[in-house]
Amino acid sequence: MNYSEFLKLIPEAFLALSLIIVFVADFCLAKTKVKGYTMQYLTIGLLAVTAAATLFWSCPTSAFGGLYVTSAAVNVMKVILAAGTIIVVIMAQPWIQKDAPRLEGEFYMLTISTLLGMFFMMSSGHFLLFFLGLETASVPLACMVAFDKWKQNSAEGAAKYILVATFSSGVMLFGISFIYAATGTLYFDDVAATITAKPLTIMGLAFFFSGLGFKISLVPFHFWTADTYQGAPTPVTGYLSVISKGAAALTLCIILMKVFAPMVAYWEYMLYIVIVLSITVANLFAIRQSELKRFMAFSSISQAGYIMLAVVGNSQMGIAALTYYVLVYVAANLAVFTVINVVEHQAQPLTSDHSPLTSISAYNGFYQTNPKLSFLMTLALFSLAGIPPFAGMFSKFFVFMAAAEQGSVAAYFVVFIALVNTVISLYYYLLIVKAMYITKTDTPLPTFQSDCNTKTALAICTAGVALFGICSCIYEWIAAAGM
């Protein structure tokens, strides 16, 4: 083995080194008074260095005989996910300091570990490395969901997540075994060169797609999502909804376009059905929700359908549209979860009402007492709904264009259904805006002062929501990387 090939794994090498540094720092600072913010600043700095190294030093390359393969488009997604993880680390600080101050180091180590698994998953050129990366990402996520272990909802959410993750991994491995039986190899390039549409490979494709559909929470593989999102700590819910989903969506896109390209006629129509179901069913269920984190769970299922709509085009434009959508989705969705998180931890000590602060009714009259947070949350919700001039409108436009580029009647029909569902999503996002601005209550949430971490996270997310759509150079950079 040529060990110099490890030097080609720049993003993964930096993350692995970051994990070691955080572990040592947590051990050395365990009994000191400066541990809290020192660990946070250290983790943010290491993630920023990883993102910078990926952006400026990492080049499209192949290592270990094609086991590891990365491209410019994958590197762009790694930068986006690293930046999103930085926002999660920033917004998580109020929750960590209040509920889990002694477990801060463990939280950061789990976060870096799962991000490392996602990086390997996206850069895999072999089904074995893909599966190892997927499990490296999934197992720490189960621990993160159960981080509030003294709360029943957190333990329940983690149990459902790990059971579904185990089942979906088994289904996926079953599908991969079919593919290996039909082709005699697990290397992506070799499989693409030899695979043909026959019953064994069609079954393998269906099982593989089903397993990864659980990870992205596409309908009908979505049943774990609402309970897990509700039970997990709010920063972890935000991480699950954007970082994990973005990595799995790009990986599925690459494998479908690269490995199963000879079978496009089969997976294309399967994808059409799943997209229509995901967008429509999730929107209809979101209207019925009264708990905000469950509401955002169904919103994320719908957004997953829009993300996968970019794959319909089966082109480089589709990869660029998917990546840009994830970038905008990271900014808008994390802004919403930042507001939920600060309300959950800052308003509770100030109110005599001990009802859950994650219910939509708790935000009745929120604008009266906290107008700035209400305004920023409204901007994020408008972006998620795709209202111009916010970035969410442009991301949906590029996704629709990528799907319509396919040119078939079925693709046009799916795009039409997605457009109709955009109107439905606008209605249920406006339900929260209505609660904050219009619905009257005698006991609105009290006025409170946001901490510096919340202000920083909201500033970054709001800047993204406002600027990513206006600055065309962002999409042009992503599109150039996807070529």
Structure confidence by residue, pLDDT tens digits, 358-409: 788 888 888 888 889 999 999 999 998 888 888 888 888 888 888 888 777 8
What was the pLDDT predicted at 48? 94
| Backbone conformation region of residue 407, classed left if phi is above 0, alpha if psi is from -120 to 50, else beta | left
**Can you list the residues of the chain whose pLDDT is less than 50?**
352, 354
What was the pLDDT predicted at 1? 57
CA distance 363 to 162: 32
Of 250, 260, 263, give the one whose Cα is nearest residue 319: 250
What was the pLDDT predicted at 2? 66
What was the pLDDT predicted at 353? 52
Residue 358 CB neighbour total at 10 angstroms = 20
CA distance 164 to 227: 12
Q: Which residue has the tokens 């088994």?
A: 170
- Long-range CB pairs of 434-441, under 8 A, 24+ apart, other chains included: 435/360, 435/361, 435/363, 435/364, 435/366, 436/363, 436/364, 436/365, 436/366, 436/367, 436/374, 436/377, 436/378, 437/367, 437/374, 437/378, 439/364, 439/365, 440/364, 440/365, 441/364, 441/365
What was the pLDDT predicted at 354? 46
What was the pLDDT predicted at 49? 93
What was the pLDDT predicted at 376? 92
What was the pLDDT predicted at 162? 87
